[in-house]
């Protein structure tokens, strides 16, 4: 590929600045050294500014240019805390180990905002440099081994627009940003000067565009560009989330027009060349409120024992053709995003909830992985095909669990039904099945569990980490307000489906690797030993015995202890944070959590673009291996470089969706507990103390997994202080003790929607009503007996 003159000039500049003999030069001196022509000298100025903006080079005193490392400068993303301090995540350098985050004091953040790309100067001239004197307090540039830095320049704003709440003071109007990590209020013109109607009012949720911000001691200024509604109302909060994470429930017109050409039914022409599996006993198992079903299981009993299990995955690639408008939009989105009460789908509903969804009693096109097990549940043979199926039954997790655990058919039929079943929109309910149909379904589920449970045991024996956690789901009412919170246990019904999906993902990845086909791997790298050592210290403080966590056996022992610990959920979150994030890559670098060398995402193409990519490569594998069900048209072939770029993009969209989902849950939790706070008789919640500080106790509610604080000012029966290095609060006079790990009962005390904080009060600290003193007719208190 030919390089442009601009690229060549960039490379020449970087090469010159990286030379060991290089001394910092000005722009004119660089032009002379590079022997540039007059026309090229104009381009030099533009190129230097571009490299400066990207943080590739830096400018030091007297307008001389150097590489950032030569001036103790580092480029990276700045992430703020609510306190105003921040840390910078340095940009990774090719072929070099990732650099540790740099701490930034609040006074050294300059004009940066959360998420900005910044250039910082490292302040580590010596390990115990003590910095400047402030009164009687000296501030070190290092705390432990942490390096400090200060912001020199903003390279790129993460965003120019923000959502927030419009407020007014006596003198001016301002917007409080929704993100509590943006601590500056943004000054805006009065609403009467607004150019659009209806004009914003106080307490409206708005979108504000920030204008130039030049002085740190002054608030930034901005202009309101859109009104979303009254702040904290569901509709306004939803629109704000969409704006912040650049999500859209709507699809471009070209995509909508393309979907109109997709038939809502599978035709006889569609199934030509496919394996016909419609007579096999097949069913799906999904959550109560699921609307798209992209995986199904079929089961066949083999003569002489054993069984053949079919893992059938919706063949989205049959409808989403490479480089079509539909494909480009799906790739751009990367995945579906599951906000509380709604889904922002990767594919239009006509596909995700329609022709691609493996609904009951309808023909559907699928990609099948055939797994043959012997009588002992050992996998003996595997096969692959493009197929057509017809699901016999749509099961919920609750119904599948009842089929596994209960024997009485009437008890099984009495299993609570989700609203979708009550409306009859997803097929027959269990109480509509005849005895022989229900028994057949029960036998099939139980036989599958026998195999799945063995797969699960074998997986853990090989070192797979048991990271199953209960799911907390928030349900909303008709107006969109948080109505109830339900904790769903990760039981055998979930595990049954998971084991067959994991097996299918691994089998497909292994076959593609053996066929030497580049594909998109799901990679989970080994954790950093330093992170594991920090985790070890944290677990020991919590009272757990820890060995060398770089050894997988010690990790599994730790997780077994965490499972039964009172702070199990919190400690498991801490464990997950010590691991690296899983990502997509064009190399089979292994999956640490699952202890698998070959692993790819194959089983959820309705909601993940990565799976759709693997499906297309799967078609090429079928063609290469001479499979009769391979498509007649040559499928899309991806190069390794294409897959690498795509993997990076999909890893970013996945993380963005996860952040949007967490924020959606946080907003609805605050909404739910705000309603609780207004009740005259407040509900009690069981909680576990997770930390003790001078200003109070941090707690985690056991049922909702919500985090909050019991402020020390609410502990009014004594004077409490921290003991045992933060392990407890102890009362000075009564010696009452609140220890980390203790279970307590609390009621909601206060909600701060702007800071996203919840305060609770211990029920044993509630003020008891004072007894009224009885009075005589004259209104005087009775005389006490002497």
Please choose, from the candidates 383, 363, 384, the residue with its C-alpha nearest in 3D space to the C-alpha of residue 270.
363
Decide if 163 contacts 228 (C-beta within 8 A): yes
Domain-ending residue, one of 514, 543, 560:
514
Q: Per-residue pLDDT averaged across 589-610, rounded?
A: 97
Domain-ending residue, one of 224, 244, 264:
244
CA angle 371, 374, 375 (to 5 degrees): 135
Alpha-carbon distance values, 659 to 149, 305, 650 (Å): 27, 47, 14
Please choose, from the candidates 707, 710, 739, 747, the residue with its C-alpha nearest in 3D space to the C-alpha of residue 722.
739
Per-residue confidence (pLDDT) for residue 144, from 0 to 100? 46
The percentage of residues in the chain with a pLDDT greater than 90, rounded to a whole number, is: 62
Q: HEC profile for 716-773?
A: CCCCEEEECCCCEEEECCCCCEEECCCEEEEEEEEEECCCCEEEEEEHHHCCCCCCCC
Domain-ending residue, one of 23, 50, 66:
66
* Residue 27 within a domain: yes
On whether both 209 and 329 belong to a single domain, the answer is no
The CATH number for 227's domain is 2.40.50.700
Per-residue confidence (pLDDT) for residue 5, from 0 to 100? 55
* Residue 652 within a domain: no
Per-residue confidence (pLDDT) for residue 441, from 0 to 100? 93
Report pLDDT digits (tens) over 259-302: 999 999 999 999 999 999 999 999 999 998 888 999 999 999 98
Per-residue confidence (pLDDT) for residue 776, from 0 to 100? 43
- The answer to whether residue 410 scores a pLDDT higher than 90 is no
The CATH number for 759's domain is 2.40.50.140
Cα–Cα distance measured from residue 765 to residue 762, given in angstroms and rounded to the nearest whole number: 5
What confidence tier does 182 reach under pLDDT thresholds 50, 70, 90?
very high
| 198 preceded by a cis bond (ω within 30 of 0) | yes
Per-residue confidence (pLDDT) for residue 767, from 0 to 100? 65
Which residue, chain included where needed, has tokens 């949007």?
A: 660
* Residue 250 within a domain: no
On whether both 303 and 343 belong to a single domain, the answer is yes
Report pLDDT digits (tens) over 651-684: 999 999 999 999 999 999 999 999 999 988 889 9
Per-residue confidence (pLDDT) for residue 2, from 0 to 100? 39
Domain that holds residue 570: 527-579
Q: Per-residue pLDDT averaged across 572-600, rounded?
A: 93
DSSP E strands: which ranges in 489-561? 521-523
Decide if 483 contacts 475 (C-beta within 8 A): yes
What DSSP designation does 346 have?
S
Q: Pick the residue with more confidence: 130 or 688?
A: 688
What confidence tier does 98 reach under pLDDT thresholds 50, 70, 90?
low
Q: Between the ranges 192-196, 576-580, 597-601, where is the mean pLDDT highest?
A: 597-601
On whether both 150 and 166 belong to a single domain, the answer is no
On whether both 472 and 542 belong to a single domain, the answer is no
* Residue 351 within a domain: yes
Cα–Cα distance measured from residue 371 to residue 382, given in angstroms and rounded to the nearest whole number: 5
On whether both 331 and 448 belong to a single domain, the answer is yes
The CATH number for 56's domain is 1.10.10.10
On whether both 150 and 165 belong to a single domain, the answer is no
Q: Per-residue pLDDT averaged across 627-644, rounded?
A: 90
Mean pLDDT of the chain: 88
Q: Per-residue pLDDT averaged across 369-393, rounded?
A: 96
On whether both 86 and 186 belong to a single domain, the answer is no
Q: Per-residue pLDDT averaged across 455-477, rounded?
A: 91
Q: Which two tokens stand for residue 384?
A: 């692959």
* Residue 228 within a domain: yes
Which residue, chain included where needed, has tokens 């922002």?
A: 344
* Residue 639 within a domain: no
Give how many domains the chain has, as a whole number: 6
The CATH number for 146's domain is 2.40.50.690
Decide if 121 contacts 149 (C-beta within 8 A): yes
Looking at the DSSP bridge assignments, the partners of residue 66 are 58
What confidence tier does 129 reach under pLDDT thresholds 50, 70, 90?
very low
Looking at the DSSP bridge assignments, the partners of residue 285 are 395
Decide if 763 contacts 745 (C-beta within 8 A): yes
Contacts of residue 11, Cβ cutoff 8 Å, sequence gap at least 6: 3
On whether both 149 and 200 belong to a single domain, the answer is no
pTM of the model: 0.85
* Residue 387 within a domain: yes
- The answer to whether residue 135 scores a pLDDT higher than 60 is no
Q: Per-residue pLDDT averaged across 608-621, rounded?
A: 97
On whether both 54 and 88 belong to a single domain, the answer is no
On whether both 105 and 240 belong to a single domain, the answer is no
Per-residue confidence (pLDDT) for residue 651, from 0 to 100? 96
Cβ atoms < 10 Å from Cβ of 599: 24
Cα–Cα distance measured from residue 578 to residue 394, given in angstroms and rounded to the nearest whole number: 38
* Residue 362 within a domain: yes
On whether both 149 and 211 belong to a single domain, the answer is no
Would you give the distance in Å from CA 472 to the centre of its chain?
14
Please choose, from the candidates 698, 765, 692, the residue with its C-alpha nearest in 3D space to the C-alpha of residue 730.
692
On whether both 59 and 120 belong to a single domain, the answer is no
- The answer to whether residue 198 scores a pLDDT higher than 90 is no
Per-residue confidence (pLDDT) for residue 783, from 0 to 100? 37
What confidence tier does 513 reach under pLDDT thresholds 50, 70, 90?
very high
């Amino acid at each position: 590929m030919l390089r442009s003159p601009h690229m060549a000039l960039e490379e020449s500049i970087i090469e010159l600045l990286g030379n060991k003999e290089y001394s910092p030069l000005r722009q004119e001196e660089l032009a002379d050294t590079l022997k540039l022509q007059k026309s090229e000298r104009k381009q030099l100025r533009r190129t230097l500014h571009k490299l400066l903006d990207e943080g590739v080079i830096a400018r030091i005193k007297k307008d001389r240019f150097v590489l950032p490392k030569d001036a103790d400068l580092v480029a990276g993303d700045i992430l703020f805390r609510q306190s105003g301090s921040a840390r910078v995540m340095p940009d990774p350098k090719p072929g070099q180990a990732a650099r540790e985050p740099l701490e930034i004091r609040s006074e050294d953040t300059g004009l940066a905002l959360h998420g900005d790309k910044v250039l910082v100067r490292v302040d580590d001239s010596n390990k115990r440099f003590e910095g400047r004197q402030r009164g009687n307090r000296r501030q070190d540039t290092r705390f432990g081994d942490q390096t400090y830095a200060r912001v020199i320049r903003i390279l790129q704003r993460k965003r120019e627009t923000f959502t927030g709440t419009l407020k007014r003071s006596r003198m001016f109007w301002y917007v409080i940003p929704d993100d509590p990590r943006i601590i500056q209020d943004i000054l805006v013109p009065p609403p009467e000067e607004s150019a659009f109607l209806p004009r914003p009012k106080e307490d409206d949720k708005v979108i504000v565009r920030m204008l130039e911000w030049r002085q740190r001691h002054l608030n930034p200024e901005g202009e309101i560009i859109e009104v979303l509604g009254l702040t904290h109302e569901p509709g306004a909060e939803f629109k704000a989330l969409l704006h912040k994470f650049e999500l859209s429930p709507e699809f471009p017109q070209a995509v909508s027009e393309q979907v109109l050409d997709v038939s809502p039914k599978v035709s006889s022409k569609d199934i030509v060349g496919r394996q016909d599996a419609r007579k096999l006993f097949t069913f799906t198992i999904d959550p109560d409120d699921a609307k798209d079903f992209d995986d199904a299981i079929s089961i066949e009993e083999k003569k002489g024992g054993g069984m053949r299990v079919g893992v059938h995955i919706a063949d989205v690639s049959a409808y989403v053709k490479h480089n079509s408008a539909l494909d480009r939009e799906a790739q751009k989105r990367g995945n579906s995003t599951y906000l509380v009460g709604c889904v922002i789908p990767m594919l239009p509903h006509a596909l995700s909830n329609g022709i691609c969804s493996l609904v009951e009693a309808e023909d559907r096109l699928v990609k099948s992985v055939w797994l043959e097990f012997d009588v002992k549940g050992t996998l003996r043979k595997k096969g692959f095909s493009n197929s057509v199926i017809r699901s016999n039954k749509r099961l919920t997790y609750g119904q599948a669990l009842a089929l596994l655990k209960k024997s009485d058919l009437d008890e099984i039929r009495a299993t609570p039904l989700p609203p979708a079943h009550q409306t009859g929109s997803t097929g027959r309910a269990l109480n509509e099945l005849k005895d022989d149909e229900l028994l057949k379904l029960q036998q099939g589920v139980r036989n599958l569990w026998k195999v799945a449970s063995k797969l699960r045991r074998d997986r853990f024996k090989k070192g797979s980490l048991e990271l199953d956690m209960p799911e907390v789901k928030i349900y909303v009412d008709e107006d969109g307000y948080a109505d109830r919170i339900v904790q769903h246990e990760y039981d055998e019904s979930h595990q049954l489906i998971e084991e067959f999906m994991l097996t299918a993902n691994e089998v497909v990845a292994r076959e593609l690797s053996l066929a030497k086909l580049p594909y998109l791997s799901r990679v989970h790298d080994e954790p950093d030993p330093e992170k594991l050592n920090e985790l070890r210290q944290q677990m020991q403080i919590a009272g757990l015995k820890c060995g060398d966590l770089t050894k997988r056996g010690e990790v599994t022992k730790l997780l077994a202890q965490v499972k039964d610990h009172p702070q199990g959920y919190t400690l498991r979150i801490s464990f997950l944070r010590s691991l690296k994030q899983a990502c997509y890559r064009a190399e089979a670098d292994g999956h640490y959590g699952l202890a698998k060398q070959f692993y790819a995402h194959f089983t959820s193409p309705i909601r993940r673009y990565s799976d759709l990519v693997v499906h297309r490569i799967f078609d090429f594998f079928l063609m290469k291996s001479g499979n009769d069900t391979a498509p007649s048209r040559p499928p899309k072939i991806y190069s390794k470089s294409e897959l690498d770029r795509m993997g990076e993009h999909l890893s970013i969209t996945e993380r963005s969706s996860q952040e949007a989902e967490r924020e959606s849950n946080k907003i609805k939790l605050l909404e739910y507990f705000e309603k609780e706070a207004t009740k005259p008789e407040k509900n009690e919640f069981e909680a576990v103390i997770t930390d003790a500080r001078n200003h109070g106790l941090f707690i985690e509610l056991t049922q909702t997994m919500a985090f909050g604080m019991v402020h020390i000012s609410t502990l009014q029966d004594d004077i409490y202080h921290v003991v045992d290095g933060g392990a407890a609060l102890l009362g000075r006079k009564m010696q009452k003790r609140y220890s980390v790990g203790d279970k307590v009962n609390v009621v909601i005390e206060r909600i701060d929607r702007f800071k996203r904080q919840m305060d609770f009060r211990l029920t044993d600290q509630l003020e008891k009503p004072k007894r009224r003193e009885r009075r005589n007719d004259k209104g005087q208190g009775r005389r006490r007996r002497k």
